[in-house]
Amino acid sequence: GAGVSQSPSNKVTEKGKDVELRCDPISGHTALYWYRQSLGQGLEFLIYFQGNSAPDKSGLPSDRFSAERTGGSVSTLTIQRTQQEDSAVYLCASSLPTGGQGGYTFGSGTRLTVV
């Protein structure tokens, strides 16, 4: 597609439920990143995928968070047993392999509210 697509755009879930957030990157972009943006905070790095390499999971805040990327394209971020502190906007971005030079293309994000 023309841009990075994220779904759903908004998600309200009850505490303790599991949620899945989806990201469709730009076609041909081999690098994919997930960030979390909490109210009044900057962007917190969560996880990074590059082609077939092992993902960099160093930013995942707990073992309740996981992500996968199927076929080198679509990615799903899963949060198990959601907590209220998980409420945030989850942003996905993709880039060419030289992402460090070209910058990212961001999706519009998924706003997650845990009640």
Q: Please give the residue ranges that form the binding site for another protein (CB under 8 A).
A: 4, 31, 33, 35, 41-43, 45, 48, 50, 56, 91, 93, 95, 98-109
18: Cα within 13 Å, side-chain hemisphere: 10
Q: What phi, psi does 26 have (nearest 5°)?
A: -70, 135
d(CA 8, CA 109): 8
d(CA 49, CA 65): 15
Question: Least distance in Å: CB of 38 to another protein?
Answer: 11
Considering beta carbons, is residue 3 or 16 the nearer one to another protein? 3
Considering beta carbons, is residue 80 or 98 the nearer one to another protein? 98
Considering beta carbons, is residue 13 or 108 the nearer one to another protein? 108
